[in-house]
Amino acid sequence: MTEFTINSSVNRTTGFAPFELVYGYMLQMMTNISSSEFSGVQDFTEMALDNLQSAHDAILMNHIRQVIQVNKHRSPDLTLKVGNLAYLSTKDLNLPKG
C-alpha cells in the first residue's frame, strides 16, 4: 500500500505521478467499500483503505517536517537600497548586439 501511495503521488517538479510516467495512465484505487458476502473480503478492504490513508498522511507529515527544517537554514532576502551595488544576470535580458 505504501508503494502504491508513493507511486501514485504527483511529483511537484514533474507534475506527474511515477505510475503515470511509467504506464501512461493513472491507476485508481478503490475509494468505497462494496458489500460482500465474505466477511474476510470486507475486513481486508477496510484494512487496505485504512493503511493507504495512513501512508498518505505520513508522506504529507514528512513533507511538512522537511519544509520546516529547510526553512530553518534559509536567510531572509536582503533589501536593496538606492546606491547599493548588485550582480545581475543578463541571461534573459534582450540587449542590443555589440
Q: What is the pLDDT of residues 29-87, one digit of tens each?
A: 666 667 777 778 888 888 888 888 888 899 899 999 999 999 998 888 888 899 999 88
11, 59 contact by CB (below 8 A): no
What Cα–Cα distance (Å) separates residue 68 from each residue in 55, 61, 62, 71? 20, 11, 10, 5
Q: What is the pLDDT of residues 71-83, one digit of tens each?
A: 998 888 888 899 9
Q: What is the pTM of this model?
A: 0.48
What's the pLDDT band for 9 if we cut at 50, 70, 90?
A: confident
Q: Which three cell numbers stand for residue 10?
A: 504527483
In the chain, what are the domain boundaries?
1-27
